[in-house]
Amino acid sequence: MNSQRTIEKEVTISGISLHLGSESHLNFRPAPPDSGVVFVRKDLSGSPSVKANISNSTGGFIRRTSLGEQEVVIHTIEHVMAALAGLGIDNIIVESNAPEPPAVDGSSLPFVKLLKDAGIIEQNTPKTELYLTETISICDRDKELIFIPDTKCKITYILKFSDPVPVTQLVSVDLDEDSFINNIAPARTFCFRYEVDALIAKGLGKGGSKDNVVVIDNTGKPDHEPRFPDEMARHKILDLIGDLYLLGSIPKGHIIAIKSGHELNSKLIQKIAESDQNRRRLANIPTMKPLEVNDIKKILPHRYPFLMLDRVIEWEEDQKAVGIKNVTINEEFFQGHFPQQPIMPGMLQIEALAQLAGVLIFRNVKDSGSLGFFRSVENVKFRKPVVPGDQMRLEIQVLKKRGNIAKFSGQAFVNGEITTEAEFTIAF
């Protein structure tokens, strides 16, 4: 089993962002299984978050890849995403104080080094791997992307420029962690001298400098010593990997790219996502219908004011479940906890996790009178207050189950940040 991965400890990186020219700080934090990559805008009120997936792509793709959900936007994420993909990191929280990550040296290598220093750990949950059975082709004039199904990941990139001087580069790489770190991650952002004014006119490249961009003059000479003879083509592969990781996994296959960039990349991943959805429908893989509050009341005996669960959105029989608790000022406990500064009691957050565990265990039990009682609560950590207006994402996982006793691990999140975590044992 290929297990999901996260990092072991928090790490931070800072610098000037490439296009907006802002002082940017990224803080990378571990995340539980099945969380995915979540960007959190710490500079905005309430620290809103946006998940890195194709549905949140803004679709602009003008010299960069951006995410947006409602008013939350994060730009130029491709180098960070490429580093996460290359290292096989599935679950991570990326906190930012700006709408764009630091450019650092224009490659993914500084992010790779930082994440490796943080320590990469495996989680006891299998990776979601993406296999397709059909060839996919996307064309736009002289640009083309072709996906050919295979059992491994391979990318071939053909770069061709005729202006201001003829340039042709070809790179082909079998994608694994070592080849990414050594052959792709160090490749830096580049542009031609004649493009600089046009980029500035579009409000881009404000933070560009010799520290983070390789500029090529009209004779084809770069202003930096190349890290590779074909560094430009390698950087295009880096960008493609970062864009592909919006699928949550790099698809197994051989991708042949001819002069492609972010815009064409986005069209390919959209088509891959649609193809994967069709494959799932054809294979009769069920789409999970959430359990609403009336469904939950048929399973649990709890009622107002002690039903702490509004919806169950995911579950895997006897394994794990994900639920939602919407916290409003009308909660009865806020009358006394505390009138001047309402905070949800930590033990009620644990109660909500336990109720989610009850739904998982009792969902298929015909006897609706079944009850669960706490036997123990261990390793409790309260990390952040939960206040009116918050939506809690509750996640539980079965650690051990024997007879009528089960042990769970549980975590509660608000905006991608852990508020409470605990291990608890329940007798049913």
Cβ atoms of 272 and 137 closer than 8 Å: no
Residue type, 116: K
Distance CA 29, CA 220 (A): 41
Cβ atoms of 235 and 187 closer than 8 Å: yes
Distance CA 292, CA 301 (A): 15
| Residue of 15, 13, 75 whose CA lies nearest to 41 | 75
Q: Which of 224, 235, 262, 302 is catalytic?
A: 262
Task: Count Cβ atoms within 10 A of the Cβ of residue 240 and give its class: 0-12 exposed, 13-18 middle, 19 or more buried.
Answer: buried
* Secondary structure (H, E, C), 265-311: HHHHHHHHHHHHHHHHHHCCCCCCCCECHHHHHHHCCCCCCCCCCCE
Cis peptide before 338 (omega within 30 of 0): yes
- Residue 224 has what DSSP assignment? S
Number of C-beta neighbours around residue 114 at 10 A: 17
| Lookup: tokens for 276 | 């994967």
262 included as an active-site residue: yes
23-30 vs 120-126, strand pairing mode: unpaired
Cβ atoms of 167 and 220 closer than 8 Å: yes
| Lookup: tokens for 394 | 């509750």
Distance CA 80, CA 96 (A): 12
| Lookup: tokens for 233 | 């083509």
Q: Which residues contact 402 (CB under 8 A, 6 or more apart)?
A: none
254 included as an active-site residue: no
- Could you tell me the CA-to-CA distances from 279 to 182, 246, 325 in Å, in that order? 35, 19, 33
- The residues assigned a catalytic role are 262, 337
